Structure 1
Amino acid sequence: MARASTLVAGIAAVAIGVAAPAGTPYPQVRPGIVLRFPADHGAHPAYRTEWWYVTGWLRTEDEKDLGFQVTFFRTRPPVGTANPSRFAATQVLFAHAALSDPTRRRLLHGERAARQGFGLASARVGDADVAIRDWALRRGADGRWRTTVAAEGFKLALVFDPTQPPMPQGQGGYSRKGPRPDEASYYYSIPHLRVSGTVEHGGRRVRVRGTAWLDREWSSNYLAPQAQGWDWTGLNLDDGSALMAYRIRRKDGGTLWAGGSLRTRDGRTTVFAPGDVVFRPIATWRSPVTGARYPVAQDLTVRVNGVAITRRLMPMFAAQELDARRSGLPVYWEGAVQVPDGRGYLELTGYAAPLAM
């Protein structure tokens, strides 16, 4: 098992941190995309990196709050597609799952990693159906998304019922992440998913209900060389509006790029320019495991129709760091947060070490 973990970590390092050779070019992200569904729910295997990302808040039968994350990553390593070997790692999949329990003030999490094929891992083209062994995230013919994961200390079996249409990010789904036009992703969200299902942890199996946010992104050149990492939040607001905001941080400090969008309950969308988004840390937490210091509480200010609106992001609890080094992926903070008029998640990357993608 240790040897297998070392192999997977090595594949991950190659997939994420090394430029592709000239013989295996990746397609670049360009403006002018027209998102098409259900096809864009499915995999885009030619691109270097892709993810299916679900986060949300759950309420148990005894009215206790929980946070959860289920993420599947697909990456195309710099391996020539002409390689005839069935063992060539032409596609590698990773998955993270986490459960935030405020009564225990700790994050339970687990990981999976495998190369595609051999019945171990798959990411379907044409609609959402991604799996690594017994972990899966799929979209059914009824339009509902379903996930099952079983990690050490917890199990999730959740159904996500869309209540709103997909929300293209950026310009119709083309989302800039840096000063160059190709430092970008294709990106859409599905906010305000209605959640039902079960959670097992602490020796109990309980029914849950809640609200979730799903992000879909794929890219070949996500971050500029001078980028350190990002702060991102997706918020389901109480009035039915949906707010996403992010900033890409520089290695030498400050903000390299920023953006996001607000879609109101009547469907009107405001797309934020880089100057419309400001994250201001108000409290930090230092990880006793990695030593990273995260701004886990922040004031987020966005400009809508010329008016600056500030919301304070407060974590469910501070210790929501996810250490995914065992699966070859980075250390980052992914936590349930509240604002005065809603709930969502905050993601903080590049605080333990510069992020390479």
Structure 2
Amino acid sequence: MDRLTRRSLLAGGAAAALPPAQAIAAPDFAQVTPGRRLVFPRDHGAHPDFRTEWWYVTGWLDGPTGPLGFQVTFFRTRTGLGEGNPSRFAPRQVLFAHAAISDPQVGRLMHGQRIARQGFGLAEASERDMDIVLDDWRLVRERSGAMRALAGGEGFQLDLVLTPTQPILLQGEGGFSRKGPRPEQASWYYTLPHLQVSGRLEREGRWRPVRGQAWLDREWSSTLLDPAAVGWDWTGINLEDGRALTAFRVRDARGRALWTGGSLRSADGRLWTAPNGAVAFEGGRTWRSPRTGAVYPVAPTVRLMTPAGERRWALTPLFDDQELDSRPSGGPVYWEGAVSVPGGRGYLELTGYAAPLRL
């Protein structure tokens, strides 16, 4: 298949615009209910009966000119369209992906994105194991258990190997993670923190070796957000002592928490799962985007109320302008950036500040 044909088939996914949430018949989608046991490697793979899911890799690289943040993210959406249509061109499933690097010397995100309807060998998500292809971008779990990520964008290319150093972390109750006051507002959610990263980064036509540490978030759901929710704040932090911190809150239009959650796992595997109300994102400096006018709380303090007492982490962004505009691939505008805390590094995601998030 020549390059022109490949590009035309990929572009067809963008032409099939996703319908608004209210146009999709929710009862046709599989629902997240407690009691199911996650099974691997099967649950590394796609879950096409659910409405949406993502494979979300974020991390820090120690590059030749200093620290860089990076993300490689693949999404799958079941559109609810054409499900009775036998044509291979029917946009039943759509894949889209983002790649970005945060370089303080550039001072803004360098970003790339892709979208295509699933099929034709050009956009595929295996149901057996982690293996997602979108043209020449790929995220695959190899026989060794390591993952390889290939993606790029504006002035960069990433070719990274992500090697687990800790067991899978099941969020919530064995992977069943509540996201709202109603029990159906939930996702299946697991994490692989403290991934060891090796590989190479291409900038200005030159490949250079890089090393670092990363974090994988995996979620799938059909009814994720309460109707009153406008977005969420989320952070995942690899702490230098081997602990892994996850914290999130789902917000309403007044900035109040509709639901909170997260976890703190020690280096020896002891896991504390935060009940609703035990996580807070507090204060901190804000940054206003010169492009969208959105005001983001880019330096909050995350507070966990654990049985052993209160724990606080003040987040500091690598730099302020880490806003990502994914509208060309059908996504939202949000802030997704590398952050550090005393004794750790991770990522902060802030959605629903430019406009209410609709999934």
Pairwise same-fold verdict (TM > 0.5): yes
Task: Tell whether the 8 Å contact from 2:34 to 2:176 is kept in structure 1 after alignment.
Answer: yes
Q: 1:185 is matched with which residue: 179, 187, 192? A: 187
Amino acid corresponding to residue 91 of structure 1 in structure 2 = Q
Amino acid corresponding to residue 21 of structure 1 in structure 2 = A
User: How far 1:84 sits from its partner (Å)?
Assistant: 1.2
**Matches of 1:330 and 1:117, distance apart in 2:** 24
Partner residue in 1 for 2:56: 53
**Matches of 2:28 and 2:128, distance apart in 1:** 22
Against the structure 1 CA distance between its residues 6 and 291, is the aligned structure 2 distance closer, same or farther, given a 3 Å change threshold?
Answer: farther
**Matches of 1:64 and 1:97, distance apart in 2:** 19
Task: Tell whether the 8 Å contact from 1:123 to 1:129 is kept in structure 2 after alignment.
Answer: yes
Q: Show structure 1 runs of 5+ residues with no match.
A: none
Give the TM-score, by structure 1 length: 0.95
- 1:237-279 alpha-carbon deviations (Å, 9 max, x no partner): 0010101000000023311100000110111100001211010
Q: 1:84 is matched with which residue: 73, 83, 86? A: 86
Partner residue in 1 for 2:230: 228
User: How far 1:6 sits from its partner (Å)?
Assistant: 8.9
2:275 maps to 1:267? no
Amino acid corresponding to residue 58 of structure 1 in structure 2 = L
**Matches of 2:13 and 2:229, distance apart in 1:** 26
Amino acid corresponding to residue 41 of structure 2 in structure 1 = P
2:25 maps to 1:21? yes
**Matches of 2:177 and 2:138, distance apart in 1:** 27
- Equivalent residue runs for 1:191-340 within 5 Å: 191-340=193-342
Amino acid corresponding to residue 169 of structure 2 in structure 1 = M
Q: 1:126 is matched with which residue: 120, 125, 128? A: 128
How many equivalent residue pairs? Answer: 354
Q: Show structure 2 runs of 5+ residues with no match.
A: none
Q: 1:33 is matched with which residue: 10, 17, 36? A: 36
User: How far 1:137 sits from its partner (Å)?
Assistant: 0.3
Task: Tell whether the 8 Å contact from 2:82 to 2:91 is kept in structure 1 after alignment.
Answer: no
**Matches of 1:19 and 1:181, distance apart in 2:** 23
Task: Tell whether the 8 Å contact from 2:81 to 2:91 is kept in structure 1 after alignment.
Answer: yes
User: How far 1:151 sits from its partner (Å)?
Assistant: 1.7
Over the aligned positions, Cα root-mean-square deviation in angstroms equals 1.9
Q: 2:176 is matched with which residue: 165, 169, 174? A: 174
State the secondary structure of the residue aligned to 1:13.
Answer: coil
2:119 maps to 1:117? yes
Against the structure 1 CA distance between its residues 56 and 12, is the aligned structure 2 distance closer, same or farther, given a 3 Å change threshold?
Answer: farther
Task: Tell whether the 8 Å contact from 1:5 to 1:327 is kept in structure 2 after alignment.
Answer: no
Give the TM-score, by structure 2 length: 0.95
Amino acid corresponding to residue 25 of structure 2 in structure 1 = P
**Where do 4+ consecutive residues of structure 1 move more than 6 Å?**
3-7
**Matches of 2:191 and 2:180, distance apart in 1:** 20
